[in-house]
Amino acid sequence: MSQATVHLPVPRIPRSRGARLQNNPVDGHKRVLLAAPRGYCAGVDRAVVAVEKALERYGAPVYVRKQIVHNIHVVTELEQKGAIFVEEVDEVPEGAHVVFSAHGVSPAVVNAASDRGLHAIDATCPLVTKVHREAVRFARDDYEILLIGHDGHEEVEGTAGEAPDHVTIVNSPEEADTVQVKDPSKVVWLSQTTLSVDETMETVNRLRTRFPELHNPPSDDICYATQNRQVAIKKVAKDADLVIVVGSSNSSNSVRLVEVALEYGAKAAYRVDYAEEVKQEWLDGVATVGVTSGASVPEVLVREVLEALSAAGYEDVEEVRTAEEDLMFSLPKELRQDISGQRDTRALGGRTGSAAS
Ligand code: 0CJ
Ligand code: F3S
């Protein structure tokens, strides 16, 4: 993979109001192509609401193991509401409530929380849980699992932890050329949910050259949201002089959007957490700016980027939509009963559509 993901602890860069962008002349009509789908996916919405709901129900503090999602703004806002983010469950006081992040946890973490008498609320995205189940099943059938993903990313740690004796992590297409297996007739590949689709296919092709009997996962492991955001930015990138991706530096899917934009024709592409980070020089000679955001990014941060661009003369905003999303997940089971014992049927993650769990 072209760029390693940065892991916690993430530096807390204080938010500063940068200078307003100048409206300098350029050749051509200034415009913004706004990719859609972008921003929150169903699993992120569910995880963030799970923390809010836990705070409402149990009162502050509620502990969260790792960042609930990889977005500094989301984490800061939840901290202000009373969430305490920890690296490991041994930092949580015995008997307290702890939320597991959207990226999932290994059975070892679940057991450590239970040994400590913690009340765990599992906000793992159901699409990550699906990959965990695949790992368990293939390990039980004695397959060797080549897990394509970023070593050290929480999701990869969680999935690998389901079957540590059967899993080998493949970090990049290059590693596919050197990874060793015991029995090439009994190998399957699985993947992290937030990778580049194209790069993962390259890794798989290189693996298959060496292991022709390589099994495929029963269904896509790269999730719908990751795929949809990449398809949308590909369409925008070919017409963009500059692409701005809103998302945090440790957000795998956001960082992938920068790479995909560059691969698909954007003349330049940058990632920002906040609008204030957009630099005047990025706009030099730029007529068309593409804008998108990762799956862990609240829309308010995109709106602030659009406002900053508007001040620089990019007032004409055209949405480029390549898919509709209506997937929703119900809340983690620990939160489905409300205090009065009523079942909370709130479904999360999209504007319309049917609930899944
Ligand atoms: O792994 C996930 C369940 C994705 C959560 C949404 O995105 P983010 O930025 O928190 O996580 P990635 O680093 O995996 O993209
Ligand atoms: Fe889940 Fe994909 Fe979002 S795995 S949390 S739907 S980015």
Q: 330 pLDDT exceeds 50? A: yes
Q: Are residues 141 and 188 in the same domain?
A: yes
6 pLDDT above the threshold of 60: no
Inter-helix orientation angle 42-58/72-81, to 10° = 10
Q: Which two tokens stand for residue 321?
A: 């939509």
Stretch 44-60: mean pLDDT, rounded? 98
Domain C-terminal end among 176, 210, 244:
210
Task: Give the catalytic positions in this structure.
Answer: 155
Q: 303 and 254, same structural domain?
A: yes
CA–CA separation, 248 and 280 (whole Å):
20
Q: Is the pLDDT of residue 27 over 80?
A: yes
Q: pLDDT tens for residues 220-279? A: 999 999 999 999 999 999 999 999 999 999 999 999 999 999 999 999 999 999 999 999
Amino acid type, 138: F
Pocket test for ligand 1, best of 40, 64, 70 (most atoms within 8 A of CB): 70
In a domain, 82, yes or no: yes
How many domains, the chain? 3
7 belongs to a structural domain: no
User: Are both 281 and 299 inside the same structural domain?
Assistant: yes
Residue 353 has pLDDT above 70, yes or no: no
Per-residue pLDDT at 25: 98
Mean of the pLDDT values across residues 34-49?
98
Identify whether residues 194 and 238 lie together within a single domain.
no
Looking at the predicted structure, is the pLDDT value of residue 55 above 70?
yes
Closest ligand 2 atom to 226 CA: 7
Q: Which atom of ligand 2 is nearest to the CA of 327?
A: 6
Q: What percent of the chain has pLDDT over 70?
A: 89
Average pLDDT, the chain: 92
Q: Give one DSSP letter per residue of 108-128, joined into a string.
A: HHHHHHHHTT-EEEE---HHH
| CB of residue 69 inside a 6 A radius of ligand 1 | yes
164 falls within a domain? yes
Q: How confident is the model at residue 11 (pLDDT cuts 50, 70, 90)?
A: very low
**Pocket mutation for ligand 2, best pick of 125, 297, 327 (most atoms within 8 Å of C-beta):** 125
- Ligand closest to 350 (CA) is 2
Residue type, 178: T
CA–centroid distance, 156 to ligand 2, in Å, is: 14
What is the Cα 224 distance to its own chain's centre? Answer: 11
Is residue 354 predicted with pLDDT exceeding 60?
no
pLDDT at 355: 33
Please compute the mean of the pLDDT values over residues 181-206 and round it to a whole number.
Answer: 98
Determine, yes or no, domain membership for 87: yes
Say whether both 237 and 271 belong to one domain.
yes
Euclidean distance between CA atoms 317 and 32, whole angstroms: 5
346, 143 Cβ separation under 8 angstroms: no
Which ligand 2 atom lies nearest to the CA of residue 127?
4
Nearest to 3 by CA among 245, 260, 177, 226: 260
Nearest CA to ligand 1 atom 7: 296
In a domain? residue 219: no
- The confidence band for 337, taking pLDDT boundaries of 50, 70 and 90, is confident
Co-location of 97 and 156 in the same domain = no
Residue 313 exposure: Cα atoms within 13 Å on the Cβ side = 16
Same domain, residue pair 306 and 248: yes
Q: 273: domain CATH number?
A: 3.40.1010.20
Identify the CATH number of the domain in which residue 92 sits: 3.40.50.11270
Which pLDDT belongs to residue 10? 46
Q: Is the CB of 294 under 6 A from ligand 1?
A: yes
Structural domain range at position 93: 42-125+327-348
Name the domain boundary from 148, 183, 210: 210
Residue 323, SS3 per DSSP: coil
H or E element: which one contains 31?
Answer: strand 31-36
pLDDT at 215 over 50: yes
Residue 243 lies in a domain: yes
- Nearest atom in ligand 2 to 42's CA: 6
Same structural domain, 121 and 187: no
Residue 25 domain-assigned? no
Q: Which of 210, 245, 276 is the last residue of a domain?
A: 210
Sign of the torsion formed by the C-alpha atoms of 63, 66, 68 and 71: positive
Does residue 142 sit in the same domain as residue 180?
Answer: yes
138 with 169, same domain: the answer is: yes
Please indicate, yes or no, if residue 273 is contained in any of the structural domains.
yes
Q: Could you tell me the distance, in angstroms and rounded to a whole number, from the CA of residue 127 to the centre of ligand 1?
A: 11
For ligand 1, the distance from its centroid to the CA atom of residue 68, given in whole angstroms, is 9
Same domain, 334 and 313: no
